[in-house]
Structure 1
């Protein structure tokens, strides 16, 4: 017993502690006769409330302050150690690249008739990026060699300084570990700096080439449209001279002149030159499309194709020059959609990829080849444009400005009619292309929508035609009211003008009747289809 007491209470302090513990246990047992101490319970509740409040505030502080701060610190460390560009800089480049494509006229369904939609906005920054055409990026092997050389040089210098200062103090193995650490740190810093500089240079070159491509394509379309318009006008003049009635005084006095014959030959030469240019451009766009297919994100590609109604064109068509130009425009839209859907321009942080630079180098090479192709044909297009302009000015011996200012009204009406005819012709080409590539019901719906718009254009053209004939009637009535000598052949001209007016009105009435019959047939066939 004495040994047990000595073991449990080796000293007086241990005995006091056991007595205090037994007293606390005894007082904590509730009995009917013993009343609890209110102050102890209040202190316990206060301590529990303060403790829970402290932990709640600490958790709130950790979630609101410490966690975002830690995430920012980790992102800063990751950004500092990573060789990729910051996410904001990469996103800004991708938005600017896509903005240049989307805001240009190259993605529209019809080629630009003026060629000045985005050329004027891009020409101000065109000269700043002209030097990027022949800019060559250093290869990955040469950049690694440069980094290794610089790292070895800095490591050698730092090792030499350390050996001079503390060679006797620092052990040999510690010096080797320090050398390896310094070499790795220097290599990573230099690698990060050079890769970021290379990616920024790639971005600048890609934007410059894309601006040049948009400008060259729009200027080429503008020149080709002017050449086609002037060739069409020369053909009209030539057919007007050859198809003139035999009793016409002008045809009797001057039959097919050498000027019109030479103009027809030049028109044929221009068409052959345009066909050659279109075939060359077609080959380059097909090659570019073939190279970009493996670098495109398929999900984004299908989404952009549905967004811009892209119809793949399988082969070049041997039609009119205007139809060939539309086919080149459609193939170009297909290639530009691939540029929008590049796999290095997704929502992720793509510059972290190891193949980021190599993919962009291929894309830059493709765009450079396209820019060089369009620049190669600019002198030929300009030469044919100047020659067709000179021939048209030689053929058209009448003054460019009419002597009577009232004729300007007729000229404006003619220009409006020509615009309607061009719109109808372009939409008919699109309908033909949709019909050839008809694979889904969506193409049939698109064809129906375009036919309805063509019908609206024809209705507007008929209205414009009536306004033109009304302007001609007013001008003819005003010219008849002027006094003229008795020997003037105005009477014969009046008699010849009346059948023309009757024919024009009959033609307009026939077209209107055709449209009305078409609507009635559609209404009759609708129940059958249902």
Structure 2
């Protein structure tokens, strides 16, 4: 029913008040009549707002055109690009992530004229030259425009006009050259930071490569077969004091120490160009502790400073100091959220920053050349780097058995190649050591060198065998797959299982023939033949998907069944309730019934309650 609304100050409201009615009255809304004057004021306000916005836009455009600073969009793009190169280089990770490095050489860029004006002048010299040029042009124009009349006012006006024209032209020339100089500074900064990232990544790759090669040579010299991942070397080095690649170990240790000191000096040098607030944010973001302990090189106080474990710790310490240095580059004072190119010293600051970045890239390149030269002297330059190794790359799982078999053969041949290269280095090192010590090789040492050399031939024979098996796997891979449900394939499955059992027994018999003999440590355990263990998941059973119509039919049937059960339960409850009411009425109206009848009625009521509970349980 609709509710009646009675407004006050109406005749009907007055009548209700006179008769004493308690009806609630509502204040009548006041009419909002806009006059012509109000409408005109609104139009004037709208026009005034549009005029002001247009005026502000015009003033902003004129300020942009009369400003010698770079546009804000270009400045933000440069700062984002600069930070993007550093943040995506993986050099700010807590541990060196060499497998994610993208060591592409940066393109060549000429940075000799970065930040310079016309003719290679600096900004200060160019401003002095330009102001002198404006004065000369003004005097020249005034002299050209002069007349024989003695009108002083006319001469002053002509001189003013000539000065204004020359000043405007010089200003536009200065504006263009300053923006161009800042763009060249930005381009040189991007190029230098790309060179720095490339040198750091290549340095990490070379150092990691050298450490892996040292570990492989140590394992092969003790009779172990190479595998991925490599066997741990820490306990082996602790149990034995013999070392291989002594010169390379010393070089890596010295280079890592020099790199740590170089990055520490760079941090102290670039400190005046840093915003401390931004630096604290970067430290918190990349979890860098600002403690004094991290600022000292204390890796020479250990018992064995050239062990592989200590060399890896030195590598990590150098990486931590480099992270701190790169965080300083991300917290420069000339890279704020505002417009920094308006600053008078903007070009000066970026020139200093470019010099620091160039120096960092140069010293990192020097350390890189030192590691490469040491590896070349140790005959390790031909060994493949870790990011090009088949075994160290993260490759996706191959679902096809034929493809997995072929890839396994390639990986096995890769292991043999690395083992042969390590043995070649051992033969070279031992031959030089024995011959340079005494001038000749005695029979015992000659026998040792011969065993080393013969083991290389043994590896070649194993690699040829793996090559033949890989060739057969490649031939099977090029064939079309057969249907596994055919009877021929089901019969061949049993034959394959039996052939695999025979091959496993033959491999067990030939395992003693394929072990490598240790030439220096006879008490070391012999190597075992290489095996591949692979976990294969069972094929996922594809569930049959129902169509939309089938799902609708199933849901309707479920709802109909639930409605039927609910109706049956309601009928049972209603019948029990009606019988109970009848019996209660009968009991109350016949109070003179005998005790036996009353007991029977009570028993009947209890059975009805039990029946109702059973119905409820069955319906639920």
User: What displacement does 1:153 show?
Assistant: 4.3
Q: Is the 8 A contact 1:133 1:368 kept in 2?
A: no
Maintained 8 Å contact 1:402/1:408: no
Q: Counterparts in 2 of 1:499-518, with a 5 A limit?
A: none
Q: Report the CA distance between 1:234 and its aligned residue.
A: 1.5
For residue 127 of structure 1, the aligned residue among 98, 101, 107 is: 107
2:80 to 95, 98, 118: 95
Give a deviation string over 1:441-473, Cα, whole Å, max 9, x none. xxxxxxxxxxxxxxxxxxxxxxxxxxxxxxxxx
State the shift of 1:179 in Å. Answer: 4.4
**1:295 matched to 2:273:** yes
Evaluate the alpha carbon distance shift between residue 96 and residue 136 of structure 1 in structure 2; reply closer, same or farther with a 3 A threshold.
closer
Q: Deviations along 1:472-510, whole A, 9 cap, x unmatched?
A: xx999945336969xx967999xx999999xxxxxxxxx
> Would the alpha carbon gap of residues 389 and 141 (structure 1) be closer, same or farther in structure 2, given more than 3 Å must change?
closer
> What residue number does 1:448 align with?
none
Where do residues 56-135 of structure 1 align in structure 2 (5 Å cutoff)?
Answer: 56-63=42-49, 65-114=50-99, 117-120=101-104, 123=105, 126-129=106-109, 131-132=110-111
Structure 1 residues 185 and 303, CA gap change in structure 2 (3 angstroms): same
Deviations 1:209-229 (A, max 9, x none): 011111111111111110111
Report the Cα offset of residue 331 of structure 1.
1.0
Point out the more displaced range, 376-385 or 345-354: 376-385
The DSSP-based 3-state class of the residue aligned with 2:341 is: helix
Q: 2:259–2:367: 8 Å Cα contact kept in structure 1? A: no
Q: 1:480 aligns with which of 478, 488, 505?
A: 505
Matched, 1:336 2:326: yes
The answer as to whether partners of 2:199 and 2:365 remain within 8 angstroms in 1 is yes
Look up the SS of the partner of 1:286 in the other structure.
helix
Alpha-carbon distance change, 173 to 158 in structure 1, aligned in 2, over 3 angstroms: closer
Paired position in structure 2 for 1:364: 354
Asked whether the equivalents of residues 231 and 388 of structure 1 are also in contact (C-alpha less than 8 Å), the reply is: no
2:352 aligned with 1:352? no
Structure 2 equivalent of residue 311 of structure 1: 289
Q: Structure 1 residues 373, 500: closer, same or farther in 2, change over 3 A?
A: closer
* Structure 1 position 231, deviation (Å): 1.1
Write the deviation string for residues 248-268 of structure 1: whole angstroms up to 9, x where unpaired. xxxxxxxxxxxxx9x956x11
Flag the 1:102–1:79 CA change in 2: closer, same or farther, 3 A.
same
Q: Cα 1:167–1:84, aligned 2, differ >3 Å: closer, same or farther?
A: farther
1:49 and 2:79 aligned? no
Shift of 1:235: 2.1
CA separation in 2, counterparts of 1:148 and 1:400? Answer: 83
Rate the CA distance shift 1:310–1:400 in 2: closer, same or farther, 3 A: farther
Q: How does 1:153-302 map to 2 (within 5 A)?
A: 153-163=136-146, 171-240=154-223, 264=243, 267-302=245-280
Larger % of helix: which? 1
Bigger shift: residues 149-158 or 273-282: 149-158
Change (3 A) 1:206 1:497: closer
Rounded Cα–Cα distance in structure 1 between residues aligned with 2:524 and 2:500: 12
**Distance in 2 of aligned mates of 1:476 and 1:384:** 50
Assess if the C-alpha contact under 8 Å between 2:189 and 2:354 holds in 1.
yes
Hey, what does 2:380 align to over in structure 1? 388
Structure 1 pair 475–163 and aligned structure 2 pair: CA distance change class (3 A): farther
**What TM-score do the two structures reach when normalised by structure 2?**
0.51
Cα offset, 1:80, TM superposition: 1.4
| In structure 1, distance between residues paired with 2:82 and 2:515 | 65
Map Cα deviations across residues 308-328 of structure 1 (whole Å, 9 max, x no partner): 111342112425222222111
Contact 1:212 1:371 in 2 (8 A): yes
Maintained 8 Å contact 2:266/2:325: yes
Task: Report the more deviating stretch, 273-282 or 98-107.
Answer: 273-282
Distance 1:360 1:500, change over 3 A: closer
Shift of 1:204: 0.7
After TM superposition, the structure 1 = structure 2 runs for residues 4-15 of structure 1, keeping only pairs within 5 Å, are: none
Instruction: Find the aligned partners of 1:475 and 1:152 in 2 and give their Cα distance.
Output: 98
Q: How far apart, CA to CA, are the structure 2 residues paired with 1:392 and 1:118?
A: 27
**Alignment partners' CA distance in 1, 2:74 and 2:328:** 22
CA apart distance, 1:176: 4.0
Q: Do 1:103 and 1:118's aligned partners in 2 also have CA atoms closer than 8 Å?
A: no
- Of the structure 1 ranges 134-143 and 164-173, higher mean CA displacement relative to structure 2 is found in 164-173
**Superposition deviation, residue 333 in structure 1:** 0.9
- 1:389–1:492: structure 2 CA closer, same or farther, 3 Å change rule? closer
Contact 2:270 2:353 in 1 (8 A): yes
Tell me how far apart the structure 2 counterparts of residues 400 and 330 of structure 1 sit (CA, whole Å).
Answer: 46
Flag structure 1 segments of 5+ consecutive residues without an equivalent: 1-44, 242-260, 410-473, 502-530
Equivalent residue number for residue 379 of structure 1: 369
Partners of 1:209 and 1:364 within 8 A in 2? yes
**Aligned 8 A contact 2:515 2:526 in 1:** no
Distance of aligned partners of 1:479 and 1:100 in 2 relative to their CA distance in 1, 3 Å threshold: same
Residue deviations 1:20-71, cap 9 Å, x none?
xxxxxxxxxxxxxxxxxxxxxxxxx99x8223212211212332x3232222
Tell whether the 8 Å contact from 1:132 to 1:205 is kept in structure 2 after alignment.
yes
Deviation at 1:185, TM superposition (A): 3.0
How many pairs does the alignment contain? Answer: 360
In the TM superposition, residue 346 of structure 1 has moved relative to its aligned partner by 0.8
Q: Distance in 2 between matches of 1:157 and 1:393?
A: 84
Indicate conservation of the 8 Å contact 2:83/2:330, yes or no: yes
What does residue 475 of structure 2 align with? none
CA distance in structure 1 between the aligned counterparts of 2:514 and 2:193, rounded to whole angstroms = 63
